[in-house]
Structure 1
Amino acid sequence: MQTTTALVPYARLPRAHPHRHVLTSTVDVFGTAHWLLAERAPLPGVDLPPFDALVASVEPDGHAELTELSAVRTRRPRLDRLPDGGFVVASSRTRSHEDANQVQLFDVLGRQTSSFSVGDAIEHLLVDESGHIWVGHFDENPVGIRRWSTTGRLAWTSYGAPIPGLFDCYALNVSGTVAWACPSTDFQLVEIRPTRPDRPVTVRANRVRGAHAVAVHGERVAFYGGYREERNRLAHGRIGDTSVEPTDVGLLTLPDGSPPGRRRVVGRGSRIYVQAEPFTAWGVFDLGS
């Protein structure tokens, strides 16, 4: 019999904004949840002109705050907060490799301070504790995983790294300044420590296929998601020198025991955050608890 694990309620969008549309949402490296809100939903295939948006943030202690962002330009946005309190908003799709407004940085007052391009097909965008921006791409732009400074300087790239079969960044977890990834097509567990010059990348063989989120705690690892009937799978393993040894497999559900439908997932250290439609609440699974 499979073990069933229920998510623990974590953060909820403040009730003062029921009529705004949730463009995207995330949980940052310090555990604060954020929602990017607009007055209306974008029409399919239609680009919005520059618009003012609102970020609603809920800290781990429940304290909420609002930040108004001016002149946001985005197509299918990704969002995260910078360590100085500002925000980064990026268009996951762009028609030009030189779209200077693809990634916008905003200060704590919501004013744009800079912008640059990181390339089309963003699957994951996560800011680490040092303020670097990690971007994992999906297969329509198979450039892999890259780490950017807030000035648009490429600080690390998986190009040329010993990661066989890196085609689509299915799962990306950024905690501290370390990243863990589980990319297609081989779904190895990839540990990236860019500050370790002698060996920044460690690749371990892994038998779990198709996971969209990963959590790591010491020598333990958990993979969430999979193909078809394994969509809600939660697979546990132990990290060895060269491979991940599977230990057990179960299911991850919403706090009420129901399976998530459409959802967002974010991996941060030992935690996997899951947000199900209508995308107003986050639940958490913590491998370290």
Structure 2
Amino acid sequence: MIEAAPLLNPGQGSETDVLLIDDSVADLRLLMDMMSLRDLRVSVALSGERGFQQAILLKPSLILMDVRMPGMDGIATCRQLKASPSVCSIPVIFLTAANDLSERLEGFAVGAVDYIGKPFEVQEVLARVGVHLQRREAPSESIDPAGHAVPSEATMDVRLVLAAQQVLRQTIANPPNLDRLARLVGTNRRRLNEAFQDLCGQPVFGWLREERMREANSQIGSTKTPFSVISDSLGYSTPANFSKAFRQRFGCSPSEMRAQRQGLIEADPDPDASSGIHS
């Protein structure tokens, strides 16, 4: 029986990278196998109640949690986590087999940062976990001669990725092509793409797409900025293209996300309605 599984790398200390909360033993074993591909230290719980206790005790870097569980479900557990000062900043990714839009929106509303659909795709799981772990666990930084923030004892690949990410965030609306980006950080396109694949679980522009969607989700949930302005600021050619990409990524339109997260209906027109885009 799985309950509080030992860490995958017990020799590396007692810290937990990922806490898995799911009432399905089969899903937990599958996720543990995936995490082992990245040498991540894992702990597991079979219920929301136990998962909350594990989170308080272990303070993991990331939580992957099933939405539908008996007793305290994922939504309730996430609410408790976000109400607890010691763990409220830990990112939560929901695991769900449901195609229910209201369920996804409720998950974002209570503080989840992402969701992963069942059945799991290994590349998707590792990519999304890698992205959120990297943002959570950015090491202490110093400044290199080119002005890029880098960890004090980083490997060259980490330095390249951090420098490239800084450039991409600064030019997110009109980023350089891969060759130009590689030259800006002092490498070649092949090595840069390989470094992103190894450290982020996806190539350079796959990471950039995710970064755009994270920023869009943040602005939609926390501001009243018109969708057209968000679209332009993130480099989308039209508001309709932005809305289509957002729906594909989060399973709902920008206006639906804003209405749920801010608890109101915006007067700003939804590009979906005028462009004929449907899920």
Q: Which has the higher helix share?
A: 2
Normalised to the residue count of structure 1, the TM-score between the two structures is 0.28
Quick one: higher RCO (CA 8 Å, sep 6+), 1 or 2? 1
Q: Which has the higher strand share?
A: 1
Normalised to the residue count of structure 2, the TM-score between the two structures is 0.29
